[in-house]
Structures are given as structure tokens and as C-alpha cells.
Chain A
Amino acid sequence: MNTSAVNAARLVLARDLKLAFRKRGQFVQPLAFFAIVTTLFPLSISPELARLREIAPGVLWVAALLASLLALEFLFRDDAHDGTLEQYALSGQSLTWLVFAKTAAHWLLTGLPLSAMAPLAGLSLGVPYASLAGIMAPIALGTLALSLIGAVGAALTLGVRRSGVLLTLLTLPLAMPILIFGAQATDLAVRGASYAAPLYLLAAMAVLGVTLAPLAAAAAVRISLE
């Protein structure tokens, strides 16, 4: 492993986290979006907890996917605007590592807080206390995989008109397996069954994402910078 590349990646990660804490508003938005979307369902379907418990896994997962996608638009945008991304590409450091660091920072700032918030939203949808770990762990892994896949889409849509809608169109079909296994894991957890199998499959997808997605995302950044 190239130590200077890892060092550079660590610096980028620290920089992105620091910048995010200075501009908190941008990273609170997806969380607020998640809270609002999960509130829409009791209002639109029924206040009965028994019925809400049935749909809770699906609601939590769709809301988490959409909130995480909403945040993906910011992943490269500011850095592309002020030229930082171009400097990264010209720096001689491995762009793959730098993009991976940015994606990791993005997950720490959206996916992880979302997985911490999901149990709260779950309780409001009538999910039993015992299943809260079965909500947090799959959402944490699933949003990691989604951030990695979404980084490719975010890089491809840099500087494109209507990039938000397009990013959703590019990323959601690729995210279907994450949704399938994630919602399955949460559903099993809510029913009190073992959710290990779909959780392992989610973990496998996250590992595949860590291995391949940064390569594709770095190539996509180069294409967008041309």
C-alpha cells in the first residue's frame, strides 16, 4: 500500500469533516428530509401502530435512500466549483484514494447520522425496542454501499443541467439490490427473526463497493474535468 496516498486521503477526509462542521446546515438537511418523509406515512396511511409496523421497514429504507441520494449532490459540487477537485486530479496523488476519502467523509456525515436517527423514526412507526439494532446496522451498511455507488453518478453528473433528477435516475436502479437486502434485514429484525443472511449480503455489497466504486468514481471525475 502506498503510504503517501493513504496520508493524502487522510488529510482530505479531515478537511472534508472540518468543512462540514463549519457549514452545518448542508448536512442537517438530509436528516430533516428523512424525518419529514417518515412523518408523511402515518399522516397519509393511518395512525394505527399495528399497520405502520407492517410498512415500517420499507418506509425507513426508502426515506434513508432518498435522503442519502439528496446529499450525494453535494459530494463533489463545491470542490468542483472552486477548482479543488481539479487540483486533486493534478496533484500526482492517486485520485482513487482521494475520491474514496471524500466518499467516506460523505458517509460519516450522512449515512452514519441517518442510521442513528432511523431507530427513532422506527419507534414512532411502532417498531419494537428489541429490533433497533436490526434497523441501525443494515442502514449503516446500506448507506455506505449507496454512497460508494452514488459517488460514480455524482461524478458523472458534475456540471450537468438538472443534475439532481439525473443523479437519482442513474443511481436508484443500481441501488435496488441494497434496498432489497436492507429492507429484508430490517423486516426480519422487526419480526424478531435472525437477519444475519441479508446483513451479510449487504456487507458483501459494501465490500464490493469499497473495492471497485472508487476506481470508477475517480475515472468519472477525470471525465467530468476534461
Chain B
Amino acid sequence: MTWTWFHRLASPPHVYALATRLTPWFAWPAGALILAGLYGGLVLAPPDYQQGEGFRIIYVHAPSGWMSLMVYVTMAITAAVGLIWHMKVAHAVAASCAPIGASFTVAGLVTGSLWGRPMWGTYWEWDPRLTSELILFFLYLGYMGLRSAIDDVQRADRASALLAVVGVVNVPIIHYSVSWWNSLHQAPSVMKLAKPEIPAAMLVPLLMMLGGFTLFFAALLLVRMRAEILNRERTANWIHEALTG
């Protein structure tokens, strides 16, 4: 097996061109899946026998919460790759992840609290998953705060990469200590392979939304990454050729 594909990922012009080419391949399926998932979830799925129509917010809430964690892990992995192999492009990817992940976290928090209003009778309940989500948001804030406080790009890259790695080691500890602290929330019911507790008419749109959000994140990441690379390489010659082409 040759590793040239991996080495070529270290070259900003190559990655810029690759990202430009790949963006529509993620963006269009993402849009199609999200539209289909929304139609399936908001129109076709039957109302929940306990929560009525209110449960439908799960189609935005669960994918947002899922993405907020997945983006953090993606950020930490790319940051570690940047730290270990000194890859500038990997740092650019990690830096582009943070604002997207923070936005998904905010979406998860807002939809969670909106869901709480009809279900718990209050907008905010100190339930373990919402609390973990809030702490995750603070972790994103810390990461972005550290980046913006350091002027030198290379130092900001390495310092924030280390912070992301330390953070991702702590995420499971935080998650389990918070759920130990308080366990009010319903147990997860999506992924029980033996006997799914939610019917297919509800589950299929949810999985479509999960897939759609993941592809949406990939498309957003590619766009942000191009902007980040352009900004970092603004003095390089290849930029002129790439933009005037």
C-alpha cells in the first residue's frame, strides 16, 4: 500500500482543490437526506402515544446532540494528527471544526430546552445529558478562546491542539460523572439492536436526519476549510493561480 495519498494531504493546494471538488458531493446528499428525513419525521411518522406531537423535535435535537460530540472528536483527532505529524492542513481542519461544533451544541441545547417545556414543564432541567451538552459548549468556548488569544498562528495551532486532545480524554469522564450525579433523563432508546423500542416509521426518518446532519457537517467543514486555507496561505503564489485559474 502506498502512502502518497496521505502525504498529498499535507499540501494546501492539493487539499484546497480536493475540497472544492468534494463539496457538492456532500452538500447535495445532505440536503436531500435532511428534506426526506424532515418530511418523514414531521409528516409521515405517527405521533408518540405519550408525548403526542411534541416528540417530533427529536428529529432536530438528537442529530444536533450527536453531531456536537462527533465534531469534537473529529476536531481532537485532526488536532492530534497536526500535533504528531506537524501537518498544517490538519490544524486548519481542527480550527474549522470548532465553530461548527459549537453551533451544533447550541442547537442541541436550544432544542433540548424547547422540548423540555412541554415534557417537563420547564425550559431548563438539570438533567445529565443537557448538562453534559452545556459543559461541552464550555469546552468549545475554551478552545476558541485560546485560539483567539494567541496571535502567532503556529503557536495557536499547537496550543489549541493540545487542549483539544486533553479535552477529548476528559469528555467521557465528564459524561459519566454528570450522569452519575443525576439520572433523570430517559434511557437511550434508539440503538437497541435486538428489539428496537421505537417503530420503523419513527426510526427511519431519525436515521436519515443523522446521516443528513453528518453529510451537512462534512460539506460545511469543506467550505470552512477552504476559507481557512485561503486565509493562512494568503501570501502564497498558488492562491493567485487557483483563484484566477
Residues of A within 8 A of B (CB): 149, 152-153, 156-157, 160-163, 166, 169-170, 172-174, 176-177, 180-181, 184, 201, 205, 212, 216, 219-220, 223-224, 226
> CA separation between A38 and B134, bound complex, in Å?
26
Contacts A156-B159, A169-B142; is A180 near B149 (CB within 8 Å)?
no
Task: Kindly supply a per-residue 1/0 record for chain B positions 110-148, scoring 1 wherever the CB is within 8 Å of any chain A CB and 0 otherwise.
Answer: 000000000000000000000000010011011001100
Of the candidates B135, B149, B150, B165, which one forms a contact with A176 in the assembled complex, judged by CB atoms under 8 Å apart?
B135
| B146 in contact with A166 (CB, 8 Å) | yes
List of B residues within 8 angstroms of A152 by Cβ: 162-163, 166
Report Cα–Cα, A205/B180, bound state, in Å. 15
Instruction: Flag if B159 contacts A174 (CB, 8 Å).
Output: no
For B, the interface residue count at a CB cutoff of 8 angstroms equals 26
Please list the 8 inter-chain residue pairs (A to B) with the smallest Cβ-Cβ separation, ordered nearest first: A177-B177, A173-B138, A170-B142, A223-B158, A160-B149, A169-B142, A180-B181, A156-B159
A-B pairs with beta carbons under 8 Å apart, 22 shown:
A156-B163, A160-B150, A162-B149, A166-B142, A166-B146, A169-B138, A169-B141, A170-B145, A173-B135, A173-B138, A174-B174, A176-B174, A177-B173, A180-B178, A180-B180, A181-B177, A216-B165, A219-B162, A220-B159, A224-B155, A224-B159, A226-B155
Given contacts A157-B146, A166-B142, A177-B173, 5 further A-B contacts (CB under 8 A): A169-B138, A173-B174, A176-B174, A220-B162, A226-B155
Is B167 among interface residues, defined by CB-CB distance under 8 A?
yes
* B173 engages A205 (CB within 8 Å): yes
B170 at the interface (CB under 8 A from A): yes
Chain B's closest residue to A216 (CB) is B166
Chain A residues with CB under 8 A of B154: 226
Please indicate the chain B residues that have their CB under 8 angstroms from the CB of A180 in the complex.
Answer: 177-178, 180-181
Q: Closest chain B residue to A219 by CB distance?
A: B162
Within 8 A of A (CB), among B24-67: none
B162 partner residues in chain A, CB cutoff 8 A: 152, 156, 216, 219-220, 223
Chain B neighbourhood of A166, CB < 8 A: 142, 145-146, 149
Q: Are B149 and A174 in contact, with the CB atoms below 8 A? A: no
Bound Cα distance A201, B176 (Å)? 12
Contact between B146 and A170, CB atoms less than 8 A apart: yes
Residue B169 CB within 8 A of the other chain: yes
Q: Are B159 and A176 in contact (CB under 8 A)?
A: no
> Looking at chain A's contact residues, is the secondary structure mostly helix, strand, loop, or mixed?
helix
- In the bound complex, CA of A176 to CA of B179 (Å): 12
Asked if residues A169 and B177 are in contact (CB atoms below 8 Å), the reply is no
**B142 contacts across to A, CB distance below 8 A:** 166, 169-170, 173
With A169-B138, A170-B142, A174-B166 known to touch, is A161 a contact of B173 (CB < 8 Å)? no
- Which residues of A lie under 8 Å from residue B141 when comparing CB positions? 169
Q: How far is the CA of A157 from the CA of B146 in the complex (A)?
A: 8
* CB neighbours of A153 from chain B (8 A): 163
With contact pairs A161-B149, A223-B155, A226-B158 given, residues A170 and B178 touching in the complex (Cβ less than 8 Å):
no
- B159 partner residues in chain A, CB cutoff 8 A: 156, 220, 223-224
Q: Closest approach, in angstroms, between the C-beta of A85 and any C-beta of chain B?
A: 15
Taking CB atoms, residues of chain A closer than 8 Å to B173 are: 177, 205
Closest to B170 in A: A174
CA distance A157 to B156 in the complex (A): 10
Contact A184 B181 (CB under 8 A): yes
- Compute how far the CA of A223 lies from the CA of B177 in the bound complex, rounded to whole angstroms: 31
Report the minimum CB–CB distance from A212 to chain B (whole Å): 7
Most buried by B among A153, A161, A220, A223: A223
A216 to B79, CA, bound (A): 14
Distance in angstroms between the alpha carbons of A166 and B150 in the assembled complex: 11
Smallest CB gap from B182: residue in A: A180
CA distance in complex: A156, B166 (Å): 12
Given the interface pairs A157-B149, A169-B142, A170-B142, the reply to whether A176 lies near B177 with Cβ below 8 Å is yes
Minimum C-beta distance from B175 to chain A (A): 9
- Nearest A residue to B158, CB-CB: A223
Q: Would you give the shortest CB distance from B245 to chain A, in whole angstroms? A: 36
Give the distance to chain B from A29, nearest Cβ to Cβ, in Å.
24
A30 to B145, CA, bound (A): 25
Contact partners of A173 in chain B: CB under 8 A: 135, 138-139, 142, 167, 174
